[in-house]
Every structure is written in structure tokens, then in C-alpha cells.
Amino acid sequence: MIVAIVFVVLIALGMPIGFVLGAAGIVGLIQMGGTGFLHLTPAKVFHGLNIFPFLAMPFFILAGEIMNHTGITARLVGLARALVGHLRGGLAQTNMVVSVMFAGLTGSATSDAAAFGKTLVPQMVRHGYQRDYACAVTAAGSIIGPTIPPSGLMVIYGSLLNVSIGALFAAGILPGLVICLICMVVIRLGANANNLPAAERRAALIDMWREFKGSILALIMPVIILGGILGGIVTPTEAASIAVAYALFIGVFVYRNISVQDMYEMLVRTARITGVIFVIIGFATILGWWLSFNQIPQAIATQMGAMSDNPYVIIAMIMVFLLFVGMVMDITATLIIVAPVLVPLTNSIGMDPVHAGIMIILALNISLMTPPVGACLFVLSSVTGEKLERIAMKLWPFLLAETLVMVLFSFNEDLALLLPRVFGFVDWAP
């Protein structure tokens, strides 16, 4: 009980989540055996970080930083606008399509939200969109990034639970595309209610070709990453390092807009982002060990299983639980703590670990848009100056639609595992 109290109090005081996890874990160790267990802390932190696939995360982050610096965003926006700008609410539709294109570069919801909050939102406002609606569209599209690979959450989940990261990457493609499609439908259905601008002139084929040629270097990167991993040519870590090399080549020799100072600043930002993630992972390991020592995950799984033996009811409980926890806690920390608790439960009902991973990641990604701790909402509010509550009011149709996508893939194993089976990561069902 004392561990839970420490955790809640420190969260309420606004302490960074990584340090909250570490403090709660240390209190747990002291509760177990006084100071006798404290000498285990460095070893547990090191053990939690000494996982080779984790090396992929800083490489993916750095590759995204480099591609952002080269002005890729503007090129991708131009291509997306040429493809869907003729639809009613063309810039809102463009926002969604470019989120799919951008997903293969960053894999981060908050990075996408920040980038588009600075570029697309002001552009949408200038063309007659309400700022709160523009922010809501951007928030809805931002979760496509960590759903379509590369995804840091998938790397963490796969590494911690010994699940193929390539299989998770394959499984994330279809839900990400469906989220984009259903959000585009929501934009169209709400066009009159939100007074969206009339459709633009359809781009000519020559214009589409021109925009495609200008964006092709950016579009090649996801092909390199996914093609290499899904084709079994390289590991995720190797693919991430190749992505960095490719991004550097493009920035230095093609666009020629990366200086030594720029590179230094990008490395510093990458180190800061990676450091935050690794602090969370390392300190969460302490708390996770305390939970395991006291068999709390087993107790939670047993309790949830005792409430019903119906697999669909258990899946529904897991989704609700994840959405609730994700509303009040950082999703990386949530994943590290709850995944070892929930995956044994999903195994008990015959759920494939890859299928369970996609369900967990979708739920946590959706929680990025939900107050009070919805990171994407805070990022967009700070970048654009729009009030968080106004963004949340415009966001609810998208939130409902994306929740339906989560439900669809959570309850339909064949759909969730279609691409992992196509690429040979998961056996076809008999």
C-alpha cells in the first residue's frame, strides 16, 4: 500500500514519471527487506536497459530529427495536398495523409503533433479552418505515427516480452492505414457542421508527378526500414542505423542543409529524448521487479480472469483498463509496467502475443489524445496557443472513430494478424 501511496502522491506533485517509478520501486525494496535490497538497484536498472533491440530507438529518433531538419515536412505536405486537396476540407484530409507518410520517418506521436502544429495548423487557420478544429485533426492524425512502424512502443514491447519486433511492425501497418481512412471519413461527414472550406481544384497529373518527384527521397526511407525488416534482410537495430546513414546522406549531399552545428544540436536533442525514455525504462525495471517479487501481476491477472472466463469480456476489460491508465500516466511507463501483467492473461485466453501487443499499443496511443495527461493535446496547446479544452471538444468524433478501430482489431485476430502471416512472422491459423 505504501508503494501505491508514494506513487500517487509523487504523480500528483508533478514529479517526472521516470523518477516517480524509481522512488516507488526503492520504497518497495526497502519495504521488502529494509536497506538490504538496495544494493540490487544498479543491477536491476542495468539489466532493464541491457537489451540489444533498445539500441534501435535512438537511431530511429536521430533519423527522424535529420529528416525533419531537411525540410521533408513541406515536401510531404505538398504531395499529400496534390492527392487529396480536392476533397471537401482538403487541408484537413491532407493532414491525415501526411501523417501516414510522416509515420515512417519519426514513429513518434508527439513529434508529429509538434511538427504539424507549427506548420499545418497555421496553414489551415489561414485557409478558413477554426484553430481548435485544426488542432483536433492534427491530434487525431498524430497517433498514426507510433502505430505504423517504426514505433518505439513496439520495440519496447517486443524486447521486454520476447516478441518479434518485425511481426509487430507488420501488424501495425493495417491499423494505422484504417485509422487514417476512418478519420478522413469523419472529416467529410463533419464538413458542414464544422464549416470546412470548399474543395480545391483537383491537381493535374503533371502536378502530382512533380510533387512525387520532390518527395521521393523522403518516401524511400520507410521502404528501406520496412522492406529490410519485413523481408528478413536486417534486424530493427540494423535498419535504424541504415536509416540514419541514409538521412545523413540526403541532408549533407543532396539537400546540403546540414551543418556541423545542426548535427550537434540534433545529437543533443536525440540524447535528451533517448535519455528520458531510458530513465523511464531503467527505473520501471525496479518497480517491475518489486511487483513480480510480490506476485502482484499474477494476482491482478487472476482477479480479472475470475471476473469472467469469456475471452471477449476479458479483452474488453483490458482495453478499458489501458485507456483509463493511459489517461493519467505516461504511456511508455504504462507499457513497461502493465504489459508483463496483461500478456500472461491474454495468453490464458489463447491470444497471440503479437495480437495482444497491437491491442495494447493501440489503446495506449489513443490515450495520448485523452485528458488529463494526453501528451499530444498538451503539445498542440503549447505550440498553437489554443486552449486544451477547446481542442478536446472538437476531438471527440475522432476519438470515438479510433476507439472503434481499436475494438475491431482487438476482437478480430485474423484481421490483426493478416500482414504478420503474409510476411511469415506468424503461422496461418488451421
In this prediction, residue 99 carries a pLDDT of 85
Q: Between vectors from CA 115 to CA 230 and to CA 372, what angle results, nearest 5°?
A: 95
pLDDT in tens, 268-307: 988 888 888 788 888 877 877 777 777 776 777 777 777 8
> Does any domain span residue 397?
yes
Domain membership flag for residue 94: yes
pLDDT of residue 378: 78
Residue 322 placed within a domain: yes
* 85 grid coordinates: 486537396
pLDDT average, residue stretch 337-362: 89
Give a yes or no: residue 10 inside a domain: yes
Given a contact cutoff of 8 angstroms between Cβ atoms, the answer to whether 30 and 38 are in contact is: yes
Burial 281-297 (b: 16+ CB within 10 A, else e): bbbbbbbbbbbeeeeeb
Please give the backbone phi and psi of residue 426, each rounded to the nearest 5 degrees, phi first. Answer: -130, 140
From CA 64, how far away is CA 101, in angstroms rounded?
12
Give the burial class of 73: count Cβ atoms within 10 A of its Cβ; 0-12 exposed, 13-18 middle, 19 or more buried. Answer: buried
Q: Which domain holds residue 209?
A: 2-422
The three cell numbers of residue 76 are 510531404
Task: Give percent above pLDDT 90 in the chain.
Answer: 17
Instruction: Report CA-CA distances (Å) from 339 to 51, 158, 162, 306, 348.
Output: 17, 10, 12, 19, 14
pLDDT in tens, 111-147: 777 777 777 888 888 888 899 999 999 889 888 888 8
Q: What is the mean pLDDT of residues 387-404?
A: 90
Q: pLDDT above 70 covers what percent of the chain?
A: 95
For residue 11, being part of any structural domain is answered with: yes
Helix and strand counts by DSSP (H, E) for the chain: 21, 0
Bond preceding residue 146 cis, omega within 30 of 0: no
Cross-strand pairs, 35: 33
The pLDDT, as a whole number, for residue 218 is: 78
Q: Please state the domain count of the chain.
A: 1
Q: Provide the Cα torsion 316, 317, 321, 322; round to 10°.
A: -40
Phi-psi region of 319 (alpha: psi -120 to 50; beta: other; left: phi over 0): alpha
Q: With 70 as the cut, is the pLDDT of residue 312 above it?
A: yes
pLDDT in tens, 213-236: 878 887 887 788 778 887 778 888
Q: Is residue 428 part of a domain?
A: no
| 261, part of any domain | yes
Answer whether residue 430 is part of any domain. Answer: no
Mean pLDDT of the region 19-46:
77
Rounded distance between C-alpha atoms, residue 7 and residue 19, angstroms: 10
Q: 191, exposed or middle or buried, with CB in 10 Å at 0-12, 13-18, 19+?
A: middle
- 55-109 pLDDT tens trace: 888 888 888 788 777 777 677 778 888 888 788 888 889 889 888 887 766 556 7
